[in-house]
């Protein structure tokens, strides 16, 4: 976790040095000290960045550059400095405030998804200080649904329903989680975890249903929160010069035909000679999908191991040295034990195959 530790006074700079040193020693953190330029001659070890610009400008830069910001200053100052830059809990950094004596550590922003609550607890342990966490679920010792998702590597959608489910948890209302995959969750009186096969869309449960599935939302009632395992891989082949619009249209149509959600896609996968295909790369960027490119030997190995399942093209083999791209690429991306949901299919200038792996993904 990349952290900026910001101080505004001489005492604060010393506490920043101590805190950064302890976090670096603990492991898992990379810290940079931001101290006023007038204190730049102080003997402070570690990575440091003296600043002379106004704090308002500095915060604008830090928000987009760090996973977390530790502020040794008054809480009110931090609230005012952070406010213009707050965008989305999925992308905002963790913001933590400390008093100059290091007695109180306060989680201010992105407590769950950003990790501010966990960072607050860690700093408090290292400094023997008082952690101040006001998130309702944490205060009551209850699981927050976005943390259940994060701890199991799942993606929550739609994000606006997270608040609805967490409010129900805090108010001791019954939450039903139906899952197709094994998940870890602390037991609770008002949270039940059941097999997905028991779920019925006709059952009225007052919008307090959570489905752990990669299946498309169109198949389920509105007001349903999904926790998505990213265990789907799209193998893709395309003609040279294909447009990003053509690639995106093919991907969406293939997902619709297989009934899988876009947020469940882990990778777009193809052969390495397509790694600079502009239309493919632009489509991946616009759809926020990582890409993975495999060499001929890897694709050939999958073809040999699963020859009875995969199609083989003499033309493609003669042209690029492997009997097919999208099917073995999809398998490699989803895990070698994965199954083909969609054998290769042409969508105009794009050919697609979709593979689904177990969860968590296994080789």
Q: What is the DSSP letter of 112?
A: S
**What does the pLDDT look like over 99-156, one tens digit per residue?**
999 999 999 998 887 889 999 999 999 999 999 988 776 767 777 888 888 888 899 9
**Cα 86 to Cα 13: distance, rounded to the nearest angstrom:** 26
Q: Is the pLDDT of residue 187 over 70?
A: no
**Cα 119 to Cα 175: distance, rounded to the nearest angstrom:** 28
Instruction: Give me the CATH topology for the region 2-134.
Output: Rossmann fold (3.40.50)
Contact by Cβ (8 Å): 140, 160:
no
CATH 3.30.420.180 given to domain 232-356 = yes
Helix (H) or strand (E) run with residue 194 in it:
strand 191-195
**Cα 217 to Cα 74: distance, rounded to the nearest angstrom:** 44
User: Hey, what are 281's tokens?
Assistant: 């790369």
**What does the pLDDT look like over 212-254, one tens digit per residue?**
999 998 888 888 899 999 999 999 999 999 999 999 999 999 9
**Cα 348 to Cα 58: distance, rounded to the nearest angstrom:** 49
**Cα 217 to Cα 225: distance, rounded to the nearest angstrom:** 9
User: Hey, what are 351's tokens?
Assistant: 């050919």
List the CATH code of the domain at 145-229: 3.40.1390
Q: What is the pLDDT of residue 155?
A: 92
Cα 117 to chain centroid distance, Å, stands at: 17
Going by C-alpha positions, the residue among 363, 362, 310 that lies closest to residue 340 is: 310
Q: Is the pLDDT of residue 45 over 80?
A: no
Q: What is the DSSP letter of 331?
A: H
User: Hey, what are 144's tokens?
Assistant: 């927050």
Alpha helices by DSSP H, 202-337: 244-258, 278-286, 296-305, 314-320, 326-334
Map out the domains of the chain as residue ranges.
Answer: 2-134, 145-229, 232-356
Tell me the three state secondary structure of residue 269: strand
Helix (H) or strand (E) run with residue 51 in it:
none
For the chain, what is the mean pLDDT? 88
Helix (H) or strand (E) run with residue 13 in it:
helix 10-26
Q: What is the pTM of this model?
A: 0.74
pLDDT bucket at 90, cuts 50 / 70 / 90: confident
Contact by Cβ (8 Å): 65, 1:
no
């Amino acid at each position: 976790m990349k952290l900026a530790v910001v101080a505004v006074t001489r005492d604060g700079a010393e506490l920043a040095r101590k805190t950064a040193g302890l976090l670096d020693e603990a492991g898992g953190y990379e810290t940079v000290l931001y101290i006023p330029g007038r204190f730049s001659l102080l003997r402070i070890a570690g990575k440091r960045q003296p600043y002379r610009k106004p704090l308002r400008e500095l915060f604008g830069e830090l928000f987009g550059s760090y996973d977390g910001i530790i502020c040794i200053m008054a809480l009110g100052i931090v609230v005012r400095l952070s406010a213009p830059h707050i965008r989305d809990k999925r992308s905002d950094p963790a913001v933590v405030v400390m008093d100059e004596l290091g007695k109180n550590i306060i989680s201010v922003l992105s407590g769950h998804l950003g990790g501010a609550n966990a960072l607050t607890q860690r700093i408090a342990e290292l400094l023997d200080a008082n952690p101040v966490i006001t998130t309702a679920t944490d205060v009551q010792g209850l699981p927050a649904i976005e943390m259940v998702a994060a701890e199991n590597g799942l993606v929550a959608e739609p994000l606006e329903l997270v608040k609805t489910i967490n409010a129900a948890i805090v108010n001791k209302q019954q939450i039903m989680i139906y899952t197709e995959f094994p998940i870890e969750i602390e037991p609770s009186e008002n949270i039940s975890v059941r097999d997905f096969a028991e779920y019925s869309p006709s059952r009225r449960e007052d919008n307090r249903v959570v489905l752990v599935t990669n299946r498309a939302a169109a198949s389920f009632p509105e007001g349903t929160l999904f926790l998505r395992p990213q265990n789907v891989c799209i193998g893709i082949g395309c003609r040279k010069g294909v447009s990003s619009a053509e690639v995106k249209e093919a991907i969406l149509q293939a997902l619709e035909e297989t009934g899988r959600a876009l947020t469940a896609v882990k990778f777009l996968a193809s052969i390495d000679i397509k790694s600079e295909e502009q239309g493919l790369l632009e489509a991946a960027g616009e759809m926020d999908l990582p890409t993975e490119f495999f060499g001929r030997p890897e694709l050939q190995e999958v073809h040999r191991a699963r020859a009875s399942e995969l199609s083989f093209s003499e033309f493609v083999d003669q042209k690029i040295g492997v009997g097919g791209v999208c099917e073995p690429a999809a398998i490699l991306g989803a895990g070698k034990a994965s199954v083909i949901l969609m054998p290769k299919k042409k969508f105009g200038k794009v050919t697609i195959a979709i593979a689904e792996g177990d969860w968590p993904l296994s080789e």
